[in-house]
Amino acid sequence: MNENTAAADPLIASARRDEICRIFGESYDPARWNDWRWQMRHRFIKPEQFEKLLRLTTSERRGLAMTHEKFAVAITPHFAELIDPDDPNCPIRRQVVPREEELLVGPGDMTDPCGEDHDEVVPGLVHRYPDRVLLLALDTCAAYCRYCTRSRLVSQGELDPLPRRLDAVIAYLEAHTEVRDVLLSGGDPLLMSEDRLDEVLGRIRAIPHIEFVRIGSRVPSFLPQRITPELVAVLRKHRVWLSLHFCHAREVTPDVANACDLLADGGIPLGSQTVLLKGVNDDVQTLKDLFHALLKVRVRPYYLYQCDPVVGTGHLRTSVAKGIELISGLRGHTTGYAVPTYVIDAPGGGGKVPIQAETIVSYENGQALLRNWAGRTYSYVDPAEHA
Ligand SMILES: *Cc1c(COP(=O)(O)O)cnc(C)c1O
Ligand code: SF4
């Protein structure tokens, strides 16, 4: 059930795809499968569809029955194919199939852990750092991550469509000449049509002081079929950078690799964000495999996030100590490009705080004692005038 078997044996791959299509009363047809709108129309949403896709556990069955009112459930056929139907601990499955534990509220859990609502200046526009803003483009995603930091908004139908908010957003950006960087995120901006995206990006790009525009998207992982030459042309036209979202190497399938190739060949710089999740990617080898797989398709790991304390995510979170241990096991042990910055988005609106193990043992009298990746110490002496 991984990309290697799929690549090595197209017959096995299409057999599973056929099973998936039959749940919707259709047979596997590669042209339909590769059409992103077909994928969106055939998402797994209802408990009875999941019963046919997976051998559900009691916790998952209860989760499917009870959590959708709080936070939508949806999985694309593409992503569903990656789930091991017999393994409840499958790392792909844990990301997207709800469990009963989602109903639990732990100490410190919040509905808006990053305090975004507090820094909202115009509906859907968050201005926290002096020079950059976050624009929530829409409130739908191709599939729903059970740990989503914006589950209070995403899938809830509370955010007005962007065309209705866009004039106010543009007016704010025009008035705030200190803003040079706009991050469109969501919900998933790449679910907009090419025409809509072209219009939104064009209006942002027309503001002279906006010099950097990026889009955060999990579409390449959930719905690689969406990455079409037409979409790439719009992104290239507006000189957009992309921040993708991947949590496990198994997500980097041949179809995903093709989508990344199309983007990289189209001149779109690609970064990636990963959320550290218990039972999904919380060991060094799993993270290494993921980051190496991403480098191979020209995606640069950017951030590794400590999972935000969103209500109902306790079963998916690790300790901070675990995160420090993991990032220490990567830095220096593999290609520097394969090591993202480990950050905690400080609860309550503090912004991203980078975390690493202590590498400066002491720094006194112009002498810094450093600990390297292998645990040995070295000293660096400052030039004379600073001693
Ligand atoms: C993450 C984030 C940004 C962008 O931060 P970078 O460190 O530049 O990637 C901007 N605004 C908000 C509110 C954010 O959460
Ligand atoms: S893709 Fe992003 S916004 Fe959408 S559900 Fe996942 S984490 Fe939330």
Where along the chain do its domains lie?
5-103, 120-353, 357-387
Token duo for residue 167: 């004039």
pLDDT digits (tens, 9 = 90+) for 225-282: 999 999 999 999 999 999 999 999 999 999 999 999 999 999 999 999 999 999 999 9
Angle between helices 229-237 and 254-265 (to 10 degrees): 40
Overall residue count recorded for the chain in this entry: 387
pLDDT recorded at residue 2: 43
Would the CB of 179 count as within 6 Å of ligand 1? Answer: no
> CA-to-CA distance for 162 and 139, rounded, in angstroms?
10
Residue 16 has pLDDT above 70, yes or no: yes
> CA-to-CA distance for 220 and 232, rounded, in angstroms?
12
User: Across the strands, what pairs with 300?
Assistant: 271
pLDDT recorded at residue 39: 98
DSSP line for 157-203: T-SPPHHHHHHHHHHHHHH-TT--EEEEESS-GGGS-HHHHHHHHHH
pLDDT recorded at residue 3: 44
pLDDT recorded at residue 95: 98
- Ligand 2: residue whose CA is nearest its atom 7: 148
Ligand 2 closest atom vs CA 217:
1
The correct answer on CATH 3.30.360.10 for the domain covering 120-353 is: no
Q: Average the pLDDT over 76-84 and give the result.
A: 98
pLDDT digits (tens, 9 = 90+) for 317-348: 999 999 999 999 999 999 999 999 999 999 98
User: Across the strands, what pairs with 334?
Assistant: 331
Q: Average the pLDDT over 135-158 and give the result.
A: 91
Would the CB of 146 count as within 6 Å of ligand 2? Answer: no
Q: Which residue has the tokens 């852990």?
A: 113
Residue 67 has pLDDT above 90, yes or no: no
Mean pLDDT, all residues of the chain: 94
For residue 72, how far is its CA from the centre of ligand 1 (angstroms)? 25
Would the CB of 184 count as within 6 Å of ligand 1? Answer: no
For residue 323, whether the previous peptide bond is cis, meaning omega lies within 30 degrees of 0, is no
Q: Average the pLDDT over 18-42 and give the result.
A: 97
Burial (CB count within 10 angstroms: exposed 0-12, middle 13-18, buried 19+), residue 358:
exposed
Residue 283 has pLDDT above 60, yes or no: yes
Can you tell me whether residue 208 is helix, strand or coil?
A: coil
Q: Give residue 124's Cα distance to chain centre.
A: 19
pLDDT recorded at residue 148: 95
Token duo for residue 36: 């992103």
Ligand 2 closest atom vs CA 275:
7
Of residues 15 and 69, more confidence is placed in 15
CA distances from 375 to 91, 330, 331 (A): 31, 13, 12
CA distances from 316 to 99, 151, 313 (A): 10, 15, 5
Q: Compute φ and ψ for 254, nearest 5 degrees.
A: -55, -40
Closest CA to 244 of 271, 275, 213: 271
Of residues 278 and 385, more confidence is placed in 278
Would the CB of 112 count as within 6 Å of ligand 2? Answer: no
For residue 329, whether the previous peptide bond is cis, meaning omega lies within 30 degrees of 0, is no
What is the set of active-site residues? Answer: 128-129, 132, 141, 145, 148, 150, 308, 345, 352
Contact 150, 110 (CB under 8 A): no
pLDDT digits (tens, 9 = 90+) for 197-240: 999 999 999 999 999 999 999 999 999 999 999 999 999 999 99
> CA-to-CA distance for 314 and 106, rounded, in angstroms?
7
Closest CA to 282 of 95, 86, 74: 95
